[in-house]
């Protein structure tokens, strides 16, 4: 499989020359659930490159992004994000606690060249979680209220490009649109991974986004794009519950029957390629076999050795999601040791996702990773199929406005 020539076929940021610019970034970052403090600013710093480019081009810039999901403790306002962005830009970023209301639209209309305004959390608007076709989502209030105020739309939110939501695919349908610098860099870097097919590739799949990860694992294995999948985190609890009939492991794993069926298919069809934990660390710190575990906050020492053994002979290692509760040192051992084995052995390494990036920085390994993707599930889905909804939306915008 070779990567389609996406970077050259998609409009790039230098096409935006005059007029007001709307930039969709992904500053969905790890948040301290008690204090509301941002735990890692990697994505904010990364996106500041695109925004700085636009500021230096003397364009009025409005930034939109989301944080968390409704009902999630990380579902908060973006005022703190605006302050963090100000720090990386070295200039004041105005913030307004509104998205599509009269106050937001008034502030947008007053914006002058070289100024930056950040609107509040996109997901405060219920339409933003709707998924559908671009033409339908272009008719949402979010797009209809904001699009007439802008000359260009820039999609820099690679981490959300796998979502067919209004802010990703709706705006490109009605505005001349292009890639931001992060989006362009991601497509180019991950293209290298696609073009290295035929070598040994190991996927380390962890984290808490169980349904998306299970679907992606099934796709990658079905297309024979990875040789082994080493599974930890909450994702492993689903597979282990099915293997051992230990329903206690499902107490904090929220999945529907379709996800359960996908997991069972994976275990049946790809049992030789899926590697599950042999032992686990419980909340009390005890190491226990998964068949008897009531909780799994980290992989155990035997599993760490097993995972490292596979990594010693791999060419490409990809990690999406931590293998334990990395916010607590006691349960970060597995993630740290396995990540170190990645960088020590693999020729090309890729990590993605907010908590994975935060962990790499904390372990002092971030500068040894070949490519740090701002995307979590997006970069894995890109490897399975490069034509993410966001990329297809940019192609559609090209055909409607640039050609």
Q: Where are the domains of the chain?
A: 6-183+386-402, 200-346
pLDDT of residue 386: 84
- Nearest CA to 233 out of 258, 259, 204 is that of 204
pLDDT of residue 100: 97
Q: Chain-wide mean pLDDT for the chain?
A: 91
CB of 26 closer than 8 Å to CB of 173: no
What are the C-alpha distances in Å from 121 to residues 157, 209, 218, 258?
Answer: 14, 21, 32, 30
Q: Which pLDDT band holds residue 208 (cuts at 50, 70, 90)?
A: confident
Which of 61-65, 246-250, 256-260 has the highest mean predicted lDDT (pLDDT)? 61-65
| The CATH number fitting domain 200-346, selected from 1.10.10.10, 3.40.50.720, 3.40.50.1260, 3.90.79.10 | 3.40.50.1260
Give the CA dihedral 295, 299, 303, 305, nearest 10 degrees. -160
Buried/exposed code over 158-196 (b: 16+ C-beta within 10 A; e: otherwise): bbbbbbbbbbbbbbbbbbbbbbbbbbbbbbebbbebbee
Secondary structure letter of residue 331 according to DSSP = G
The residue among 151 and 387 whose pLDDT is bigger is: 151
Helix axes 354-362, 42-56, angle to 10 degrees: 100
pLDDT over 90 at 279, yes or no? yes
pLDDT of residue 197: 66
For residue 273, the SS3 value is coil
* Cα distance between residue 22 and residue 147, in whole Å: 8
Using a cut of 0.75, tell me whether the model's pTM lies above it: yes
Share of the chain above pLDDT 70, in %: 98
pLDDT of residue 3: 39
pLDDT over 70 at 365, yes or no? yes
Supply the Cα-derived Rg of the chain in whole angstroms. 21
What are the C-alpha distances in Å from 163 to residues 167, 191, 231, 246, 391?
Answer: 9, 20, 24, 33, 10
What are the C-alpha distances in Å from 2 to residues 5, 9, 198, 349?
Answer: 9, 15, 11, 19
Query: Per-residue pLDDT averaged across 36-42, rounded?
Result: 88
Q: Which pLDDT band holds residue 292 (cuts at 50, 70, 90)?
A: confident
* Cα distance between residue 317 and residue 319, in whole Å: 7
pLDDT tens across 142-167, in order? Answer: 999 999 999 999 999 999 999 999 99
* Cα distance between residue 356 and residue 349, in whole Å: 13
CB of 65 closer than 8 Å to CB of 89: no
pLDDT tens across 71-94, in order? Answer: 888 999 999 999 999 999 999 999
Judge if 6-183+386-402 and 200-346 fold alike in CATH terms.
Answer: yes
Query: Per-residue pLDDT averaged across 44-55, rounded?
Result: 96
CA triple 212-121-127, angle to 5 deg: 65
* Cα distance between residue 142 and residue 154, in whole Å: 16
pLDDT of residue 26: 96
pLDDT tens across 102-134, in order? Answer: 999 999 999 999 999 999 999 999 999 999 999
pLDDT of residue 1: 38
User: How do beta strands 298-299 and 280-281 pair?
Assistant: antiparallel
pLDDT over 80 at 237, yes or no? yes
Looking at the chain, the number of H-run helices and the number of E-run strands are 16, 15
pLDDT tens across 4-27, in order? Answer: 344 457 889 988 888 999 999 999
CB of 150 closer than 8 Å to CB of 21: yes
CATH architecture for residues 6-183+386-402: 3-Layer(aba) Sandwich (3.40)
- Nearest CA to 164 out of 134, 121, 141 is that of 134
């Amino acid at each position: 499989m070779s990567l389609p020539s996406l970077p050259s076929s998609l409009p790039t940021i230098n096409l935006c020359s005059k007029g007001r610019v709307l930039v969709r970034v992904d500053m969905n970052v790890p948040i301290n659930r008690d204090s509301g403090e941002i735990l890692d600013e990697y994505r904010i710093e990364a996106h500041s490159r695109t925004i700085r480019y636009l500021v230096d081009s003397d364009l009025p810039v409005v930034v939109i992004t989301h944080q968390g999901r409704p009902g999630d403790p990380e579902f908060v306002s973006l005022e703190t994000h605006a302050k963090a962005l100000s720090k990386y830009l070295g200039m004041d970023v105005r913030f307004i606690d509104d998205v599509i209301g009269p106050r937001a639209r008034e502030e947008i209309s007053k914006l002058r060249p070289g100024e930056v305004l950040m609107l509040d959390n996109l997901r405060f608007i219920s339409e933003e979680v709707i998924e559908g076709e671009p033409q339908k989502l272009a008719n949402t209030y979010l797009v209809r209220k904001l699009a007439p105020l802008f000359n260009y739309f820039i999609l820099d939110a690679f981490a959300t490009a796998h979502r067919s939501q209004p802010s990703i695919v709706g705006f490109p349908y009605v505005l001349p649109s292009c890639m931001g610098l992060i989006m362009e860099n991601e497509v180019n870097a991950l293209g290298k991974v696609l073009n290295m097919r035929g070598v040994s590739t190991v996927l380390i799949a962890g984290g808490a986004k169980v349904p998306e990860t299970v679907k992606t694992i099934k796709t990658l294995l079905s297309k024979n794009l990875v040789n082994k999948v080493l599974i930890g985190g909450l994702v492993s609890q689903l597979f282990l519950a099915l293997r051992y009939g230990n329903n206690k492991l499902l107490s904090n794993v929220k999945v529907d029957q379709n996800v359960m069926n996908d997991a069972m298919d994976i275990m049946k069809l790809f049992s030789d390629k899926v590697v599950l934990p042999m032992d686990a660390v419980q909340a009390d710190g005890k190491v226990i076999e998964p068949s008897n575990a009531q909780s799994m906050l980290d992989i155990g020492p035997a599993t760490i050795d097993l995972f490292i053994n596979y990594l010693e002979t791999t060419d490409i290692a990809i990690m999406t999601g931590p293998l334990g509760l990395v916010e607590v040192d006691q349960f970060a051992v597995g993630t740290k040791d396995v990540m170190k084995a990645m960088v020590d052995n693999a020729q090309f390494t890729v990590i993605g996702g907010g908590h994975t990036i935060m962990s790499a920085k904390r372990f002092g390994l971030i500068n040894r990773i070949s490519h740090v993707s701002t995307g979590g599930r997006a970069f894995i889905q890109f490897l399975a199929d490069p034509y993410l909804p966001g990329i297809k939306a940019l192609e559609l915008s090209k055909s409607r406005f640039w050609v």
